């Protein structure tokens, strides 16, 4: 078979295979029928085992609502966050697997042929992540993360805070830096080979395929720009911070301690402007967390089936989880930036892919958005039977970052009732 007529054509250079886009012309005949916006930041945090709705969703809409249990923990920042109810991602079911779509909005994550799409953070980082050493960070206390590439590939996560600290703040020896620069130059050489080999294909392609190939060229050029940026950063020292390298908490039952350490390095990453886009997945566990008063495993508690004893323990666990968020907001609010604080310029999205973990229901997702320059201090209550599309919130967040877009995922408008200050 002629390799130029296979469905997918691969170009090889320096031992690296680079896939071309699907090109109809290669099919057998008849087969084809900075300034202010640069300082905006975004953090997204997902609680994989849900949040007990009565403890986080107020009973009254608007600004005069009474704080439920979990929001009382955040009470100091009432005027700096918005709580939302009656929201979800259209056509996203799948129970626990819906975490895959928390930041992508991709429908049917539990289907056999599911292919994810780009996550909110990666969409923003692709345009705005070039001005920091690291375009983004994907973190998790255990298991998978929330970040997905444009081609639907999961971005690997960091789970050990010490490794995040080393990545952000520890310079390697001159020999290590030289090796990294050498690898980057090898990557640039591979891309040069790819470009040389593909340029000659254009004259054999039809109009639609030329357009696809042009898009491919642009993707290669973008990869070149990323490599050049990475090489430039290798010659600059990493920032110094007034914090020691954290000691990893290796016992998975110490879930609150593990969260705390990740929040600490997240704050350092933002404060040092090492990155402006961070995701953190907190998926939970099938074990009894080391929290006073808890003797049932966390996953079991989330499937409480309205058992008062389980809900009592679940409330203790989730209160501890929300308390770590409160401490993170406190650190951001206490870090000055210009005339305000890091919280003023950092959107912190906190919620769960599950509206009711006990029944694996993905409707009525609990969502809190703090900071970032929005007019907060309210409960946006939408229809709990006919949910409002959560992807519209993501459009609002992208616009708040300064991006000119009116769509993301299945979102086609900004969020109703949420305005910038």
Q: What is the average pLDDT score of the chain?
A: 85
Tens digits of per-residue pLDDT, 181-222? 565 455 555 545 555 666 666 666 777 776 666 666 666 555
Instruction: Determine how β-strand 346-351 pairs with β-strand 367-370.
Output: antiparallel
* Location of structure tokens 């085992």: 49
Q: Which long-range contacts (CB under 8 A, 24 or more apart) does 171-176 make?
A: 171/237, 171/238
- Asked if residue 36 has pLDDT above 60, the reply is no
Evaluate if pTM is beyond 0.85. Answer: no
Residue pair 325/74 in contact by the 8 Å Cβ criterion? yes
**CB 124 within 8 Å of CB 401:** yes
Average pLDDT over every residue of 69-97:
97
Write down all domains in the chain, each with its CATH number in brackets. 1-33+171-237 (no CATH), 34-170+248-400 (3.40.720.10)
Contacts of 266 (CB under 8 A, 6+ apart): 43, 137, 139, 278, 280, 328
Q: Closest Cα partner for 114 from 99, 100, 128?
A: 100
Average pLDDT over residues 385-414: 97
Give 113 or 387, the one with higher predicted confidence: 387
User: What average pLDDT score do residues 152-179 get?
Assistant: 83
Name the H helices within 235-385. 255-271, 298-302, 308-333, 342-345
Q: Identify the band that residue 91 occupies on the pLDDT scale cut at 50, 70 and 90.
A: very high
**In the predicted model, what is the mean pLDDT of residues 400-417?**
96
Q: Which residue would you say has higher pLDDT here, 16 or 358?
A: 358
Report pLDDT for 167.
Answer: 87
pLDDT band at 266 (very low <50, low <70, confident <90, very high): very high
> How sure is the predictor about 30, in pLDDT bands with cuts at 50, 70 and 90?
very low
pLDDT band at 14 (very low <50, low <70, confident <90, very high): very low
Q: What is the pLDDT of residue 186?
A: 54
Stretch 283-300: mean pLDDT: 95
- Band (pLDDT 50/70/90 cuts) for residue 272 is very high
Residues 6+ away with beta carbon under 8 Å from 325: 45, 74, 263, 348, 350
For 312-353, how does the pLDDT look when each residue is reduced to its tens digit (9 = 90+)?
999 999 999 999 999 999 999 999 988 899 999 999 999 999
Is the per-residue pLDDT at 361 higher than 90?
yes
More confident residue, 387 or 23: 387
- Confidence class for position 11, pLDDT limits 50, 70, 90: very low
pLDDT band at 4 (very low <50, low <70, confident <90, very high): very low
Using alpha carbons only, what angle is made at residue 404 by residues 403 and 405, rounded to the nearest 5 degrees?
100
């Amino acid at each position: 078979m002629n390799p130029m007529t296979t469905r997918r054509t691969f170009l090889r250079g320096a031992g690296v295979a680079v896939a071309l886009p699907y090109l109809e012309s290669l099919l057998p005949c008849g087969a084809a029928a900075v300034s202010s916006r640069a300082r905006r930041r975004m953090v997204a945090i997902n609680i994989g085992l849900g949040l007990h709705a009565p403890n986080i969703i107020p009973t009254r809409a608007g600004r005069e609502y009474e704080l439920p249990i979990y929001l009382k923990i955040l009470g100091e920042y009432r005027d700096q966050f918005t709580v939302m109810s009656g929201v979800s991602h259209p056509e996203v079911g799948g129970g626990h697997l819906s975490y895959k779509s928390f930041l992508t909005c991709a429908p049917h994550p539990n289907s056999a042929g599911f292919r994810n799409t780009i996550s909110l953070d990666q969409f923003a980082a692709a345009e705005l992540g070039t001005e920091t050493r690291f375009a983004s960070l994907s973190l998790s206390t255990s298991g998978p993360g929330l970040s997905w590439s444009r081609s639907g590939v999961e971005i690997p996560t960091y789970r050990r805070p010490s490794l995040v600290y080393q990545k952000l703040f520890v310079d390697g020896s001159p020999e290590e830096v030289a090796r990294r620069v050498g690898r980057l130059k090898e990557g640039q050489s591979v891309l040069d080979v790819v470009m040389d080999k593909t340029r000659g294909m254009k004259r054999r392609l039809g109009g639609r395929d030329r357009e696809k190939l042009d898009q491919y060229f642009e993707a290669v050029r973008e990869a070149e720009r990323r490599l050049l940026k990475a090489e430039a950063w290798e010659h600059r020292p990493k920032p110094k911070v007034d914090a020691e390298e954290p000691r990893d908490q290796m016992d998975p039952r110490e879930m609150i301690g593990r969260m705390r350490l990740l929040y600490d390095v997240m704050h350092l990453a933002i404060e040092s402007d090492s990155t402006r886009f961070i995701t953190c997945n907190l998926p939970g566990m099938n074990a009894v967390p080391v929290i006073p008063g808890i003797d049932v495993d966390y996953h079991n508690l989330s499937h409480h089936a309205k058992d008062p004893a389980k809900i009592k323990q679940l409330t203790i666990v989730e209160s501890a989880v929300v308390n770590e968020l409160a401490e993170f907001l406190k650190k951001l609010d206490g870090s000055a930036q210009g005339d305000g604080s890091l919280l003023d310029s950092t959107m912190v999205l906190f919620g769960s892919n599950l509206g009711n973990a006990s029944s694996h229901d993905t409707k009525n997702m609990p969502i809190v958005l703090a900071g970032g320059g929005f007019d907060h201090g309210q409960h946006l209550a939408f229809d709990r039977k006919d949910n409002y599309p959560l992807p519209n919130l993501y459009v609002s967040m992208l616009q708040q970052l300064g991006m000119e877009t009116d769509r993301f995922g299945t979102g086609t408008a900004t969020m109703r009732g949420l305005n910038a200050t």
